Amino acid sequence: MRLILLGPPGGGKGTQARLLAERYNIPQISTGDILRDAVKNATELGKKAREFMDKGMLVPDDVVIGIIEDRIQLPDCGNGFILDGFPRTVKQAESLDAELRDLSLKIDVVLDLLVDFDELNKRLSGRRTCGNCGKGYHLETSPPRNEGICDSCGGNLIQRDDDKSETIKKRLEVFQENTEPLRGYYKKRGILRQQKGQGDIQNIFQDICRAIEGL
Which positions are catalytic?
13, 88, 127, 160, 171
- How far the first Cα of the chain sits from its last, in Å, is 11
Strands (E), the chain: 2-6, 28-30, 81-84, 109-114, 127-130, 136-138, 157-158, 192-196
Binds ligand AMP by CB under 6 A, chosen from 2, 19, 82, 88: 88
Stretch that binds ligand AMP, among 85-93, 115-123, 127-135, 181-189 (CB under 6 A): 85-93
Distances (CA, A) of 154 to 114, 132, 148, 159: 33, 8, 9, 16
Nearer to ligand AMP, 38 or 206 (CB): 38
Side-chain-side CA neighbours of 58 within 13 Å: the count stands at 24
Nearer to ligand AMP, 146 or 177 (CB): 177
Examine residue 86 and tell whether it contacts ligand AMP (CB under 6 A). Answer: yes
What is the smallest separation between the CB atom of 212 and ligand AMP, expressed in angstroms?
Answer: 21
Distance (Å, rounded) from C-alpha 71 to C-alpha 65? 10
Site map (CB under 6 A) of ligand AMP, residues 153-172, x = contact: ---------x--------x-
Q: 100-129: which residues touch ligand AMP (CB under 6 A)?
A: none
Distance (Å, rounded) from C-alpha 10 to C-alpha 16? 11
Query: CB of 120 within 8 A of CB of 56?
Result: no
Examine residue 96 and tell whether it contacts ligand AMP (CB under 6 A). Answer: no
Examine residue 12 and tell whether it contacts ligand AMP (CB under 6 A). Answer: no
- Under the rule (CB under 6 A), what is the footprint of ligand AMP? 9, 31-32, 35, 52-53, 56-59, 64, 85-88, 92, 162, 171
